[in-house]
Amino acid sequence: QVQLVESGGGLVQAGGSLRLSCTASGRTFSIYTMGWFRQTPGKEREFVAAIRWSGSSTYYVDSVKGRFTISRDNGKNTVFLQMNSLQSEDTAVYYCAADSSWTSVAGISRPNEYAYWGQGTQVTVSS
């Protein structure tokens, strides 16, 4: 089992920045990919970004490219999501996720490819 704990959400004005953190514990050696998703009421969970646990590959949804950066600190089993130039459309609950087997590039944006999820952290952007 892998446990994920997110932190760093909050209220920010449009144009501002937030940094989310997700720390993994447990069987972290089984992780290949970690991702961030977000969800608003009545909508499906949306892929935001992902990073391979080893190597340097990162993936982003088009709407956040150039504004968000995903990174990791393997020594601390932590993944970060630096969010800049935040817009009201970024308001959502953000979830950290980890897979338990290799996820193909084609599947990296699909929630069902990820076996473990954090509890979520609210990000609210006021306009």
Least confident of 11-15, 67-71, 103-107: 103-107
**Strand ranges, E, within the chain:** 2-7, 10-13, 18-26, 33-39, 46-52, 58-60, 68-73, 78-83, 92-98, 116-117, 121-126
- Higher per-residue pLDDT: 127 or 51: 51
Contact 92, 123 (CB under 8 A): yes
The per-residue pLDDT for range 68-94, each reduced to its tens digit, is 999 999 899 999 999 999 999 999 999
